A and B are shown apart, each in its own frame.
Chain A
Amino acid sequence: MSRRGSSVAHEAEATPGFEGVPPELIGHHFSSAARQNEAMRLGMWLFLATEVLLFAGLFCGYAVYRFQFPLAFEECSRHLNIPLGTLNTVVLITSSFTVALAIHFARTDRRRASAICLAITLLFALAFLGIKSVEYLEHFKEHALPGKYYSSEEVKVPGAAMFYTLYFLMTGLHGFHVVAGMSVLSYILFRTLQGRYSSAYYTGVELGGLYWHLVDLVWIFLYPLLYLI
């Protein structure tokens, strides 16, 4: 019966790398900092899974309507501003790199460098939103808008309105996530400046970074689907 009696529970305590964590950073209900870190990371990964499934609904809609209107989707895709889309992809991937650097610096106790990297990430995020609004403005001028508002002269194939419905829903939801990610990163920047993270405990930076990588990852799927194929 007592095969592996108390294995799981004590493994976490034995995990190295969580010595010297200030006790006020550990919740009263957690037996150790390692356990708290494990719980928070698992929670974040689960939350990311829900985000993936949130977008999955739209990806599913994209697949269905792409098969239904292959011509319209190709035409509209070619009418998007590919250079700006590509630039945005580069901006976002670079921001993923800077956030990874911020985690690295937090882990090695270089608080200032970590804060600077977070600030740069935020600037990249702003740049992404700026470029995206330029694109949106173009669509508004062309009346390349979703559903019943679509009256563009450029593409007149049936199904073009559906492409723009999906385009605006997907990039809009993604844009919302960029804004959400920015508020998360600002909070972490604020806490970094307060000196709440150290090599002993930097779970917050790690979680914020994870979230930002997801925002980046979703765009990496959106970019080829909307602009390239």
Chain B
Amino acid sequence: MRLSEADSPRLAGAAAPAAPSYLTDGTTVMSWLNTRDHKRIGVMFLAAVLFFFFIGGVFALALRIKLLQPGPFLVDALSYNRLFTLHGIVMIFLFLIPAIPSAFGNFLVPLMVGARDVAFPRLNLASFYIYVAGASLAIWGMLHGGADTGWTFYTPYSSTTPTQVFPILLAAFILGFSSILTGLNFIVTTHTMRAPGLNWMRLPLFVWGIYGTSIIQVLATPVLGITVLIVAVERVAGFGMFDPARGGDPVLFQHMFWFYSHPAVYIMILPAMGVISETVCAYSRKNPFGYKAIAMSSLGIAFVGFFTWGHHLFVAGQSTFDAGAFGILSMFVGVFTAIKVFNWVGTMYRGAIAFKTPMAYVCGFLYFIVFGGMTGIALATTSLDIHWHDTYFVVAHFHFIMVGASVMAFLAGLHYWFPKMFGKTYHEGFGLVAAALIILGFNATFIPQFLLGNEGMPRRYYQYPEHFQALNVASTAGATLLAFGFVIILVYLVIALGWGKQCEANPWGSKGFEWMTASPPSTHNFEEIPTITQMPHDYRTHEPPGVIRGT
């Protein structure tokens, strides 16, 4: 099950009396709630985002069950609108955006750059509590009626609907601060906390991915903040900035909203790409092919991502010239993504591939990102988008990227770093079965939605014509498989956590920098700050990734 002992780099300094792991260093509840340790904060984020992934998933299943029938079924129309709104809000603001950066990023970035903590540990804890506050407010809003605007809060509907939009807007505003603080922390950490010898061209690719993400978080989130704040003021005080009845322009809202929310898609996918860059090397036992190309394309996506928002407004009265310009700019994202895909496949080529669970998700990811990316290029073509706009084709496209790609990468990372975080191993056989179920179930859920959208079924509708029923049933069947796969993961990970075998420090024999230290690491990460003398994932030698030479 494990890679051979000889290949696995020995833990440097393992002979020294080990400091207690971060998990056992303080076991009271307060020692967790009041911690400044990036690893504990990362684990708390992980627990929180998994909880919200579960909630969002339950909403999704309820939607799919309703859509088994073309007519009214199970829930009324208003509840249906609330359900898809809450599904979107929970999955985007409470799961996808913090999932990889706040959970894995927090845990791993300091380990990967050879630092004892992030630059601002107190701010990091504050970021977690701001997240908890925003999430609590969102839950309160959901329990008191929820919103029915869709996660996009389009005005003027969002400023007039009688549902509880206000607390949810405020929650989005608060959650934005959590995201900004996390991003700010990572940028400063990457700039100032690197270990001796770790120059920029030796940074692990996951750190490059997180760095690109953080730039977007820091620069785009404030615009969402002010936008939702204006809508909130509009609801309470009738300022009318986006209200056509008072001379306001609702399309301005769409521009300001998508100025954040399109880059937000890259907040969800860039760290996922970073996870894939790490796992593909670890399980191909090969150095990254095209390291610079992968690193720079992360920055490329972060940069060009700021100039693509207009592709959400092709049918909102935008000029033909603007639409064309935004269409072409959007396609650049496809170019950068293709560069990455090429290099990941190049990394696998002639590698010694160990087909463990994370590698199964890497393969799923590659397929989903190519398929989802290509439909994205198609949607960025204005003439095609006019036909597909606001249909299930769009729904299927962005689920291919957000679930297909991001969630696959999240699961790959969860399995790859599970021993790192908890010092336990999971059952590989169940892992592969669950991966197969999830990848198949995902296809079965969303390929029918591409077909439905192409035939013209609009998104967010409560009822649909009867001849769409067969494909809708197929989609719901797929969603059931998907849910079943997630339940299996939940079961074997909980078993592994509670009763799993203690594993060695580096069960995969990986040469990523995060494996330089014990698994789980001690509170201060390293006994001595390592000196980096090589690239990450350099499998040519049998030496451990970082050589401790003292500082």
Give A contacts to B, CB under 8 Å.
1-2, 4-10, 12, 27-31, 35, 38-39, 42-43, 46-47, 49-51, 53-58, 60-61, 64-65, 68-69, 146-149, 158-159, 161-162, 165-166, 168-169, 173
Question: Restricting to B176-215, which residues have a CB under 8 Å from any CB of A?
Answer: 180, 184-185, 187-189, 191-200
Q: How far is the CA of A55 from the CA of B118 in the complex (A)?
A: 28
Q: How far is the CA of A46 from the CA of B221 in the complex (A)?
A: 13
Question: Restricting to B216-263, which residues have a CB under 8 Å from any CB of A?
Answer: 218-223, 225-227, 230, 233-234, 237-241, 243, 246-249, 252, 255-256
The dominant DSSP class at the A interface is helix
B307 to chain A, nearest CB (A): 15
B303 to chain A, nearest CB (A): 15
Closest to A164 in B: B239
Closest to B121 in A: A29
Closest to B38 in A: A29
- Select B247's contact among A4, A38, A69, beta carbons within 8 Å: A69
Q: Given A148-B238, A169-B241, do A158 and B247 touch, yes or no (CB 8 Å)?
A: yes
Q: How far is the CA of A60 from the CA of B223 in the complex (A)?
A: 10
Q: Given A9-B197, A68-B247, A147-B246, do A46 and B187 touch, yes or no (CB 8 Å)?
A: yes
B207 to chain A, nearest CB (A): 14
How many residues of B sit at the interface, in one of the four size bands?
Answer: 35 or more
9 CB contacts below 8 A, A to B, read A27-B117, A28-B524, A46-B187, A60-B255, A60-B256, A65-B247, A147-B237, A168-B239, A169-B230
Q: Which residues of A contact B219 (CB under 8 A)?
A: 49-50, 53
Q: Which residues of B contact A1 (CB under 8 A)?
A: 533-535
B116 on interface, CB distance cutoff 8 Å: yes
- Select B188's contact among A39, A58, A166, A173, beta carbons within 8 Å: A39
The answer to whether A54 and B246 have CB atoms under 8 Å apart is: no
Q: Given A58-B226, A64-B249, do A29 and B117 touch, yes or no (CB 8 Å)?
A: yes
Q: How far is the CA of A43 from the CA of B226 in the complex (A)?
A: 21
Q: Which residues of B contact A10 (CB under 8 A)?
A: 196
Q: Pick the most buried of B185, B218, B247: most chain A CB atoms within 10 A of its CB.
A: B247
Q: How far is the CA of A42 from the CA of B116 in the complex (A)?
A: 19
The answer to whether B196 and A165 have CB atoms under 8 Å apart is: no
Q: Which residues of B contact A54 (CB under 8 A)?
A: 222-223, 225-226
The answer to whether A6 and B240 have CB atoms under 8 Å apart is: no
B25 to chain A, nearest CB (A): 14
Closest to A173 in B: B226
B550 to chain A, nearest CB (A): 13
B403 on interface, CB distance cutoff 8 Å: no
B165 on interface, CB distance cutoff 8 Å: no
- Can you list the 6 inter-chain pairs with the closest CB atoms, starting with the nearest? A57-B226, A147-B240, A29-B117, A29-B116, A9-B196, A54-B222
